[in-house]
Amino acid sequence: MALLKLNNISKEYERGGKKFPAVNNASLEINQGDYVNITGRSGSGKSTLLNIAAGMLSPSSGSVELDGELLNFKSDKELSLMRNNKIGFIPQGLAALNYLSVLENILLPFYLYPDKNFGDADGYARILLEKFNIEKLADAYPNELSGGELRRVIIARALINRPKIIIADEPTADLDLENINNIMQIFTKLNEQDGTTLLIVSHDQEALAYGKKLFIMSEGVLSLKN
Ligand SMILES: Nc1ncnc2c1ncn2[C@@H]1O[C@H](COP(=O)(O)OP(=O)(O)O)[C@@H](O)[C@H]1O
Ligand SMILES: [Mg+2]
């Protein structure tokens, strides 16, 4: 069974009074353990598709199945619960709360929907910090961090609820080569050692080299590369 299934997804937007498809009939099936990349030019619809896949945005038509469940008919509350439990979503840009410490930022998704069976979230947050070599930054604040450090915090935050799939939008944008490789090695380890399923949008050639399956988005149309 597919972990994440996009069935004929389209999303229409309007510009200058004219409708256009930002995503045009895209289908994609991701199985447990897959490592899938999507690339494509700016404006081709990658973020729109990813936001739909993560249940953040509803499609104009088509459906999303996550772990055997259709997302279409869920209430906002059900949807956010499911998202919070099963998906680690990393949106485009560096979204951290500046008035919370690094540790508090990482714990935020846990405290929003505390899962009774989960156990020691604080301990797990510290394990993640150690894993990403930023354990010294637990009590620092986001605006004291470098871009690469902040990315690692955001990845740790996406992992705190032990999601089945990580969905990341340009997680290496604006990083230097060393940090790109650093972040991608983190993703590769998550996939190979922990079996975390990955769906990553990127247009960094260096970052794409780590994936196992590559799709291209072109004017809203998604296709498998070679
Ligand atoms: N909320 C919106 N309203 C209208 N147009 C939008 C909206 N969001 C994105 N678009 C347009 O949809 C297209 C795809 O955008 P996006 O998915 O962000 O592309 P990408 O992530 O590949 O750069 C672009 O032409 C963009 O301007
Ligand atoms: Mg984008």
CATH number of the domain that residue 49 is part of: 3.40.50.300
The residue range of the domain holding 210 is 4-224
- pLDDT tens for 14-42 read 999 999 999 999 999 999 999 999 999 99
Question: Does pTM top 0.85 for this prediction?
Answer: yes
Fill in the DSSP letter of residue 133. T
Q: How confident is the model at residue 94 (pLDDT cuts 50, 70, 90)?
A: confident
- Whole-angstrom distance, CA of residue 127 vs CA of residue 132: 9
Give the mean pLDDT of the chain: 92
CA angle (72 as vertex; 196, 46 as ends), nearest 5: 55
> Could you tell which of 9, 10, 13 is best to mutate to test the pocket of ligand 1, judged by most ligand atoms within 8 Å of the CB?
13
Number of domains forming the structure of the chain: 1
Per residue in 144-154, pLDDT tens? 999 899 999 99
Q: What's the confidence (pLDDT) of residue 117? A: 61
Q: Determine how many CB atoms are found less than 10 A away from the CB of residue 41.
A: 12
Answer with the residue of higher pLDDT: 118 or 10. Answer: 10
Q: Please tell me the predicted confidence (pLDDT) of residue 200.
A: 98
Say if residues 100 and 109 touch (Cβ distance below 8 Å). no
pLDDT digits (tens, 9 = 90+) for 53-64: 999 999 999 999
The residue whose CA has the least distance to atom 17 of ligand 1 is 45
- Closest-CA residue, ligand 1 atom 14, reads 45
Give the Å distance between the CA of 122 and the centre of ligand 2.
32
